[in-house]
A and B are shown apart, each in its own frame.
Chain A
């Protein structure tokens, strides 16, 4: 795991919003931590478990179960290429290859400078505009190979 430090006070601030000892806040709190730090930091999870009185094993299980959580720091720009059936048929593979080559990473990877993370997802529910690429949560439809460089620049 990459060693990075998070600000524990920021994590505490997030946790204040959740009633102490109430395990039902687990997923929400993990989401907030993911949003704040860009990943589910170990130190933050320790604070969370103490606050919500949840075993660390359970929090780890949830954090690894959902794709929305990442245990590694992610890039500033998160590019998700849909590889669902519709997008696959309309050439999402080419887009993935293009991005891998341009960024020098594999799907799931993050560039060393923590600028870009590339992910593939299975159907984002916008098949009519396949192939779909989302950049920092913004959807782009009918993406043509070659147009990605511009999209990335815009997403920055």
Chain B
């Protein structure tokens, strides 16, 4: 086993300990120091697309050199001195948000963030194409992490967008809607009824919980999850609430703990 090195660094004049390999953002999050992010998600690898998490770094050995880095990517180092908010950082974030507001003038999320930095109307030319997508790439990354790899970016430069391959319902889409849930601006639309989920041009039939009848996930996703995990498909046919209830009953009867309160089941997203 490798022993993990402990690193000390300074954020906004306070000292913190961190494990080697953590990023500045990891430490800041742990310590409750606010840094705005749009393309970061703890479950996924960071790529540094949105540039909003910029912080300023310097080091006693750097002879006064300091610079802006993306905190979601920059790994902590011994003696690093980080500033998460000053005029330079503020201006940088303001410019980024000004640009994002030009791209997505109708996004409430961007409007709100931009307003925090004093931008209510973009100073750039507004995008003619109606979109809420800021190209952070979270949807593509979560889809890949899921193992479906159904969507990706298409084109480049100002024409870049998140697209369906050959503009058709993606053959690899399993209808999990992870892309829609992770999208920071709500740019990906989907529609749920108890019977079907409509997303990316597909209409997926929903599987219903065998005990309570509530819709769990699309059939195609269930097949995918069963195959990926090697578990019996039947395992997925009970919703999270009912399966917790079942396990609680099993534990109760096994230990004869009828009287012991194990709490009520909670709904878990899958």
Contacts and interface: CB of A to CB of B under 8 A. Distances in A.
Interface size band for A: 10 to 19
A44 to B, nearest CB: 12
Interface string B128-164: 0000000000001001000001111111100000010
Main secondary structure of the interface of A (DSSP, over half): helix
Interface stretch (B72-80, B167-175, B187-195, B213-221): B167-175
Contacts of B153: 61
A42 B172 CA distance: 15
Contacts of A42: 166
B165 interface: yes
Of B152, B163, B167, B171, the most chain A CB neighbours within 10 A belong to B152
A42 B164 CA distance: 13
Interface string B193-204: 000000000000
A56 B172 contact: yes
Nearest to A40: B166
A58 interface: yes
Given A1-B167, A71-B166, A61 B154 contact: yes
Q: How large is the interface on B (under 10, 10 to 19, 20 to 34, 35 or more residues)?
A: 10 to 19
A95 B186 CA distance: 45
Interface string A59-82: 111001100000100000000000
A125 interface: no
Contacts of A45: 166
B47 to A, nearest CB: 14
Given A60-B165, A60-B166, A71-B166, A55 B154 contact: no
Interface in B52-88: none
A57 interface: yes
Contact of A55 (B156, B166, B167, B172): B172
Given A55-B172, A56-B172, A61 B152 contact: yes
A65 B163 contact: no
Contacts of A65: 154-156
Interface of A: 1, 42, 45, 55-61, 64-65, 71
18 contacts: A1-B166, A45-B166, A55-B149, A55-B172, A56-B170, A56-B171, A57-B140, A57-B143, A57-B152, A57-B165, A57-B172, A60-B152, A60-B154, A61-B153, A64-B155, A64-B163, A65-B155, A71-B166
Interface of B: 140, 143, 149-156, 163, 165-167, 170-172
